[in-house]
Structure 1
Amino acid sequence: MLGNKVRTFLALMFLTLLGTGIFYLQNSYTSRYIKNELNKVNYVQEEEKLKASLTLQKRFPTFGFNNLLADWQYLQFIQYFGDTTAREKTGYSLVTDYFELISKYDPHFVDAYFILSTANSIYAGQPEKTVALLNKILPNISPKISPDAMFLWIYKGVDEILFLGNIEEAKKSYAKSADWALARGDNDGKIIAERSLETVKFLEGNPDSKKAQVSAWATVLNTAFDDKTREIAIDKIRALGGKVNIDDNGNVNVTLPEQD
């Protein structure tokens, strides 16, 4: 009889502990879920506030502090882009606003446009806006302003090949990049000019050229500023039949597909 009582007691204890454990797990899960949902709401609210702020700043006079404001907004953009937790909740919709604002403040800010153009086309999904902004920026830039300015024409050509399918404009962009590359007057400029003209040749022979597309993705890969962009570029290159080799020193070598 005593044995039955003990077994009953132990069974009740087990059920109690089991119930407590289930309640704890459910409560823990619910708390995390509610916290995540609240965070999501907070991220969305912050995105909306930031959007309103950027829209307002586009209308404000600069009082001659254009370069300072451009630098400040660029730092704000880097912080915005680098907040991966928030971006997973809200996306990258404000990249275009930063791009517009910075280009308004300082159309000569070449280094910023390398990152902004890639982020706007790949993450914000606005390649047509990227090309439109570059078309406004490029008349204000020359090889004399920056020895790397030629890359902006290449970035424009990349968008026109990969995302817009505007091959005729892409050929013009790459030809222009070759001109600016040669204007540097150094060996690096000659190499870049040769590659740009090679891409033009690919496009002239085949508007759907896989080699031209791989070359475009190779540009994205070699100038990527984050791992996610690099992964996207590598996947695209391999899908097109190209090969990517990264040595122990981090040097990247891309082999074009054998067949176009």
Structure 2
Amino acid sequence: MGILTEVVDKVLVVTIDRPKAMNSLDPEADQELSNAWQLFEDRDDLLVAVLTGSGTKAFSAGADLKAMLPRFRERVLAGEPNLDWAFGGGLARGRTLEKPVIAAVNGHCLAGGLEMALACDIRICSPNATFSLAEALWAIAPGAGGTQRLPRAVPAGMAMEMLLTGDPIDAETAFRIGLVNRIVSSDQLMESAMSLATKISTRGPLATKAIKRLVREGTMSPERGVQRELDEFIYLVKTRDAQEGYSAFAEKRAPVYTGQ
């Protein structure tokens, strides 16, 4: 098993469990990760996911260079049509999850590992975390969203420096440039991530999905974006969850949402 899953109330915890390989993904682990995301999508009772790596040394070093890239190169050289690098079980490229995903980054977050973290909605890290997109060192470019998501997450100049040099940045730098939301001690990392995931899981699930959709579509024109926001707002106002939300507010109690 290269991927572990655990359900904690309404949260799915997904752990890359290949510590001897710095939690890099070989084809088998990549498929297992795809299965985990399918589980997350299929179960309506799971509202938030937390992605992390086993141990304290690495979140993920990305693709297992000895296993994944040689196989993919063979397919490229063979002229196989319709090739897709759906890395991270599709999380980094090829799969759009409607529900929020939090990355709990413990240690090195490299290449495809960073692309997976960038595909998450929120990132929390431990003090020993490092981040890099080192593909240029190996004469390739990121293939799972790194060149697209990193410049949207951090200042363009920092993104270009990281992409062109492949040099890593530390946790403090990642926090300073906005790559991570916060730094917490290693022994508090999962507790912090789970606390945040649990908090989000108590919010209206239709609303969190709509918010994620709107943010994801944020590259459209401001006029179109504001109209899409209004469309989602009108849709949500009509739901039972919205009625429950303002009823709970008026009655000074915690809301109970059903996703309807």
TM-score, structure 2 length as denominator? 0.34
Q: Whose helix proportion is higher, 1 or 2?
A: 1
> Which structure has the larger Rg over C-alpha atoms?
1
TM-score, structure 1 length as denominator? 0.34
Relative CO higher for 1 or 2, CA cutoff 8 Å, sep ≥ 6? 2
Q: Whose strand proportion is higher, 1 or 2?
A: 2
